[in-house]
Chains A and B, each alone.
Chain A
Amino acid sequence: MTSTTHRPAPRVGVIVAYTLRSCIGPKRWLGCLLPCAGALLFGLLTHAMPEAAGESFARVAADGIFALVVPIASLVIGDAVLGAEVRSGVFHFTWLTPTPLTQIVVGRWIGGTLVALATIVPACALAALVAGDTEGVVPAVIASAFGASAYIAIFIAIGCVARRAAVWSLAFVFLVERLLGTALTGIAQWSPTWESRAVFVDWSPGAPQSIVRDGIPVGGGAVVRLVLITVIGLAIARWRLSRLRITGAAD
């Protein structure tokens, strides 16, 4: 005789499975894979540069991959896992359950990070290989993994704060990080772009010292900073989720 009762699955696991199954649709996959293809093009671009493979890939990765590919691809994922669902009016299926809000946020973030690990991170590793910088593969993997997970946490938070999350997320990347972060070290210290780049250039043997930015943590310190950014992003998302007005798609 078979029992009709079972022990309920852990809620975080249920949310992760739902995130992977429902939040990242075919268009989102395409939107994520296009910048990833851009990473490979950046890898190919290094062959046109006069420097050695390690140095040329470090320059391209610092200014192209970590400043453009990782944030854009992470934006597509980070917006999909929560903000887009809130806007489309289906988030109530999750919110109207006794699931603690922290578990909802963490589940969505894990789901998004798993997608990033399957797309952005391999694309960055492949870019290093395409560029001929085999020693840059591991630093690229570590930097892109921690950078993408920090970005996803930030974009989840922005999705809980702003209705036009994609616009505000782009503003964060290009105005706050690129514009203000270039000028102000205080902002760069809390920027996934600058910190993931700092992880890569510190650990990549071929990277020239001239592209290491002064005044921000590098290497392991940058990894810790990216983890801190992730935690802060998730905490903001959790806090905002408890104050969110969850309205329908038409509102």
Chain B
Amino acid sequence: MTAPDAPGALVAPLDPAFAPNPTVDVANTSVWFGQKVALSELSCSFGPGVTGLLGPNGAGKTTLMRAITGLIPVNQGTVRVEGRNPRTDRKVHARMALVPEDEAVPPGLTARQLVRYVADLKAVADRTAPDRALDEVGMLDVADRRVDGFSKGMRQRTKVAAALVGDPRVLVLDEPLNGADPVQRAHLIGLFRRLGSEGRTVIVSSHVLNEVERLADRIIVIVHGRLAAAGGQRAIRDAMNDRPRHVLIRADDRRRLGAALIGLDSVAGIQFDTDSLVVATSRAAELALSLPALASELTVRLREVRPLDDSLESLFRELVR
């Protein structure tokens, strides 16, 4: 029998869908609404730090977040938060919070009253906690205004304050930056990153992909209710190496360069635009090595070389294709 840490022992690579020290476990989970399958045998986990949840509209992100927080039951599989079932064990809600995407807020309450209401129900003993939570999201100066009169961004920030007031270990944020102005976005991104670095499990969904790039250490992509990819942004890209990537090249003599490029094994196709050419390649690293040499040989000056699909948005398009 070989000890697991003995030299030469085979160590299975970690599945990127699973966090090393998970606080939220989703196992073989399916959720359906009548004939519509919202989540299909999804398995993944979330641990301390910020995890971005990506997917097109209707992919199942919100359903997953609601299942994690226990707002909806799962039809198959299990969801556990710190080992507890969030649907049946109400104590788990003392350590977990959700900021839903919905704009709806309780009418007739001020921001301070709403945050205090949540604090009271979570039995928060610190009477300064509501004001500190409001201050954290920059809403303290309007704390006595009614939330139903707030803009979308202000409502969202008030909901973030209501979520933070209980000092949650697990924070689930569904499109939390919706409606926030650029300054507030930057502030909230910094806040979420800090919460993640403090060891909290922060799960964030967003359609603004460059924000997810700035926010998340780890990304989980859901498409049609299934797990499409998981890992860091680079890891997802690496996992897609067999898919063609597109590189935009601007050069002095693009026709001559294009003619030479087409002869390379790493080039799958070339498309000429008005002032540039777009090269499709399945071996980007090889192309990156051979392109400067080829340009030098042809005495063609390269003005710009830029991958067109290195953003999360393009990864996402590839995955949902």
CB-defined contacts of B66 to chain A, threshold 8 Å? 246-247
A4 touches B127 (CB 8 A): yes
With contacts A21-B109, A90-B104, A245-B71 taken as known, whether A97 is within 8 angstroms of B118 at the C-beta atoms is yes
Q: Which of A74-122 contact B (CB under 8 A)?
A: 85, 88-90, 92-101
CB-defined contacts of B124 to chain A, threshold 8 Å? 8
B102 touches A248 (CB 8 A): yes
A90 touches B108 (CB 8 A): no
B111 within 8 A of A: no
With contacts A8-B123, A9-B120, A248-B102 taken as known, whether A98 is within 8 angstroms of B90 at the C-beta atoms is yes
Residues of A contacting B: mostly: loop
Query: B86-109, CB under 8 A of A: which get 1 and which 0?
Result: 001011111011101110111111
How many angstroms between the C-alpha atoms of A250 and B93 in the bound complex? Answer: 24
How many angstroms between the C-alpha atoms of A237 and B121 in the bound complex? Answer: 20
Query: A216-251, CB under 8 A of B: which get 1 and which 0?
Result: 000000000000000000000000001101111110
Most buried by A among B88, B92, B122: B122
A190 within 8 A of B: no
Number of contacting residues on A, CB 8 A?
A: 35
With contacts A22-B107, A22-B109, A247-B66 taken as known, whether A100 is within 8 angstroms of B73 at the C-beta atoms is no
B127 touches A92 (CB 8 A): no
With contacts A21-B109, A248-B104 taken as known, whether A101 is within 8 angstroms of B90 at the C-beta atoms is yes
B128 within 8 A of A: yes
B72 within 8 A of A: yes
With contacts A243-B73, A248-B100, A250-B102 taken as known, whether A18 is within 8 angstroms of B117 at the C-beta atoms is yes
How many angstroms between the C-alpha atoms of A92 and B162 in the bound complex? Answer: 11
Most buried by A among B88, B101, B104: B104
How many angstroms between the C-alpha atoms of A83 and B109 in the bound complex? Answer: 19
B113 within 8 A of A: yes
How many angstroms between the C-alpha atoms of A249 and B113 in the bound complex? Answer: 22
Q: Which of A159-182 contact B (CB under 8 A)?
A: none
B37 to chain A: closest CB distance in Å? 15
Query: A49-81, CB under 8 A of B: which get 1 and which 0?
Result: 000000000000000000000000000000000
A162 to chain B: closest CB distance in Å? 16
B96 touches A90 (CB 8 A): no
A239 to chain B: closest CB distance in Å? 13
B100 touches A98 (CB 8 A): no
Contact of A90 among B71, B72, B92, B105 (CB under 8 A): B105
Query: B113-147, CB under 8 A of A: which get 1 and which 0?
Result: 11001101111111110000000000000000000
B125 touches A8 (CB 8 A): yes
CB-defined contacts of A250 to chain B, threshold 8 Å? 102
List, sorted by A's number, 20 A–B pairs whose CB atoms are closer than 8 Å: A4-B127, A5-B125, A6-B125, A9-B120, A14-B121, A22-B106, A85-B106, A89-B100, A90-B105, A92-B71, A93-B106, A97-B118, A97-B166, A98-B123, A99-B90, A101-B90, A245-B72, A248-B100, A248-B104, A249-B104
Q: Which positions in A face B, CB cutoff 8 Å?
A: 4-9, 11, 14-15, 18, 21-22, 25, 85, 88-90, 92-101, 242-243, 245-250
User: Can you add 14 more A-B contacts, CB < 8 Å, to A248-B104, A250-B102?
Assistant: A5-B126, A8-B120, A8-B124, A21-B109, A22-B106, A85-B106, A89-B102, A93-B117, A93-B162, A96-B71, A98-B92, A98-B122, A245-B72, A246-B72
